[in-house]
Chains A and B, each alone.
Chain A
Amino acid sequence: MKGHKSINYWKSEYIGRTLVTLCGIVIVLTTLAIIAFIAGKGIQSFTVSGISLWEMITSTNWSPNDGHYGALIFIAGSTLVSIGAVLVSAPIAIALAIFMNYISPKFGEKVLRPVLELLVGIPSVVYGLLGVSILVPFLRDSFGGVGFSLMAGIIVLSIMILPTIATLASDALRGVPPQLLEASYGLGSTRWQAISRVVIPAAKKGVMTGIVLGLARAFGEALAVQMVIGNTIKLPEALTSPTATLTGVLTMDMSNTLNGTAWNNALWSLALILLVISFLFILIIRFIGNRGGEK
């Protein structure tokens, strides 16, 4: 009898623990393997193919057929399009979060939240298709040019990251202790004063995290942006001019270049640059998190 009990105990205690630990180890190993692989491939263009890192990140001359691998246009394109998307999206998302939590919680819970969840679930190729078939012709008719433009990329991306920022901002606002709100009402503030002066500053950390996550998502998005931005290898002169992004050039050229060629190595370096930048975003999130915790 005692033995039976110990088998049961062994089952319930150790099997679960082993499984969970194993999953944790697998995830860590996978992440490390991906980083090691991309870094290993990415530095080959500098170590094997003899491309200069400085040229890659400062030159705008990308013509692989002549051996020039300046990626500044793509870095600038990715940065502009994702910052633009956050600038459009963040104010709307924060407004939505305030509305959901303080202005009309019932409507927010019943309608807005499900709608935002639906928006998250729409695959990016659908956003891209809608962008190509509706947004691009609309922009062409109203602003001239070919329609494929930085602006089209910003609009598509801002719709894509809106739910991310709104959901996180909403969670942050919900986490603000009600006592703060009551105290500010007690001091005689109006609802709007309470929201703008007390609740939002108190939830700043969560809101900022949402914004940085949105920025990271925008930076890494490939398909939808590639479909509407035009992929012209040129720095954009205006919101209406087409340009290219890091992810766009990767998806366009990766399958057509051969392993081990300078061109292919340069593309891996672009992937490495993407990875480094997304790590920077994660560092920023952690930094924001830590600073909030010390208060």
Chain B
Amino acid sequence: MPAPPATPASLPASLTAAASFPRAVLFPVFVISGISALIYQMVWQRMLLMIYGSNSESVAMVVAAFLMGLGIGSLLGGWISQNEKLPLVLFFSAAELGVGVYGLFSVALFQWVGSITVGAGSLMTGALSFALVFLPTLLMGSTLPLLVAQQVRATGDVGDSVSWLYFVNTLGAAVGAFLAAMWLLRVTGLSGAVQVAAALNVLVSLLVLVTWMLRRRAARAAS
């Protein structure tokens, strides 16, 4: 027997209540999150290739390192999202804060690691690149499944949730790529660009946190 079409009404009331978070805030902050992610990608990729060589082997290793982090992060986000009682947007807020804090120190960290691992071979280059980008890409990768789960709780529509969230996040990534290429890297250089990206992460984190707290306070007052 085919399953009935899912709607928010068919989900447990606890889920829809927990999921209550305005798209008017969530979508713009996920755009900003995408912007900062692409700025990091362009800067970190450049820095790693400066450190470990810009030959095609290094490029392949660095790309693989980014994707591995994002992939594992995706699993982490999916795993966290199973818990129906957790306010998933708070995890998103924490992930953004984590990325931002890491971003602030990333240039100095990359330079330091680069200086003590000068003679690394191709495989070691991959391992070091992976180690350097693992934490932030893990956090970045977790955000989409977290927010999809949050949105499905609210709307009961997987395709629509994925479409919108993928749209806003990738739109942000596109804006980040244009912004970095056409203005940011020329004006601020690599270190300035990651500072801008980190500031965006912190802004996203705070906006989500404040919105969530205001809504919780309003809900309590109403009850």
The judgment on whether A and B are partners is no
